[in-house]
Amino acid sequence: MKRLFSFFIPGGILFCAALIMVGPDALHSLVPSVVRVAQPVILASAIFIGWRFNRSSLVFSVIILALCDRVLLTWVQGFPLSAGPPRIAYQAVALLLPLNLMMLNLMQERGFLTFRGIARMTVIALQPLIILFFARSHPDALMSRLTHPVLPFSLPEGVPLSQPALLAFCLALLVTVVRYVQHQGAKESGFFWVLVTLLLALGAGFPATDRVFFFAAAGLILLVSLIEASHSMAFKDELTGLPARRALKEELLKLGNRYTLAMLDIDHFKKFNDRYGHDVGDQVLRMVAGKLAGVSGGGRAFRYGGEEFTVIFPGKYADQAHQHLEDLRREVESSRFVIRSRMRPRRKPKRIRSGGRPRKEVSVTVSIGVACRDEKNARPQSVLKAADKALYRAKKQGRNRLCA
């Protein structure tokens, strides 16, 4: 449910809002006014924020949206599509738009005035020039390529999209879904809802004003998704997936008069890291973080820094949180960690060879210090320091234990 919620927010909400706007007559009458104001504001905001946050994919995407929107406004007056330039322009936009957005979603951020950034700008600028060249020199051949049947069935008569364009949208949506499953980021979900919005705008044959409105909505989804992704980068630890220290500081400000804080540290992590390498150390951190994410008793886990973690139990005294923390400590202790060979293949082989070296298993333990708010420690920072002192006592007493 959490993954589904993060996938739907914010892009899905904005998509549904755009559908509602073009639906009822009372709201639909507002669309022309919204388009006149929203389109330039969204374009300028997306370019500025994308440049400020060094998110070239956002800037290039909104530029592509603006170019495609302008091409359609210039050449396509209405439906059914007229033969010649209007039909070529519409099918070229419908084919190239999803493919370009898919590639921008797949590519890493490389800046604007770098070699790769300039190369991407050049590719974007060349596409309309190439289409224009062939539209003037070989219009029939170009139209034949843009509308060549590639599916074993015909599309409904009212659908203005060609089969290659529909296939391009389906491919882009599939790649974007796979990308989201792998990364589960706001950027990936944002690109998915942008593609859905554009598919509806181009596939349903909306009039020009409604189509421009959907293009503006697509730009807004990209802009909000960037803000969401930037927030996630600031408040979420990339390695472990847990909320980061900045999120912890904000959470501490929201606590009431009754709460318990726990500081947790992986035992002998530095020696473990030095012996097996940083890659294995990162695996240990992710494993422990996975256990912490499932802590019972209403606890919320955060990565404090390095191999240290913090768990907050709102509304609980220390004795109420003790058993949940002890269960967590035992669960980590009982989990056997397999040291992967550095010579292992990147992909799992079809056949597993027998007689190889036995896999090395090690145990990972944690020490925990816990403290609750009382008269002596009335502020969150004081409670945190008390929990840290309790953690030091746990390590001094032999580690792999909980101290209050």
Supply the residues annotated as catalytic: 307
**Judging by DSSP bridges, how do beta strands 366-372 and 402-403 pair with one another?**
parallel
* SS3 (DSSP) at 38: helix
DSSP 84: T
Alpha helices in 238-354 (DSSP H): 245-253, 269-276, 278-293, 318-334
Alpha helices in 314-377 (DSSP H): 318-334
Burial 273-286 (b: 16+ CB within 10 A, else e): beebeeebbebbbe
Q: Are 194 and 18 in contact (CB under 8 A)?
A: no
Task: Indicate the burial class of 245 (C-beta count within 10 angstroms; 0-12, 13-18, 19 or more).
Answer: middle
Q: How many CA within 13 A on the CB side of residue 344?
A: 13
Q: How many CA within 13 A on the CB side of residue 198?
A: 38
Preceding peptide of 149 cis, ω within 30°: no
**Token pair of 216 as six digits:** 């503006």
Q: Are 9 and 205 in contact (CB under 8 A)?
A: no
- The span from the CA of 56 to the CA of 54, in Å, is 6
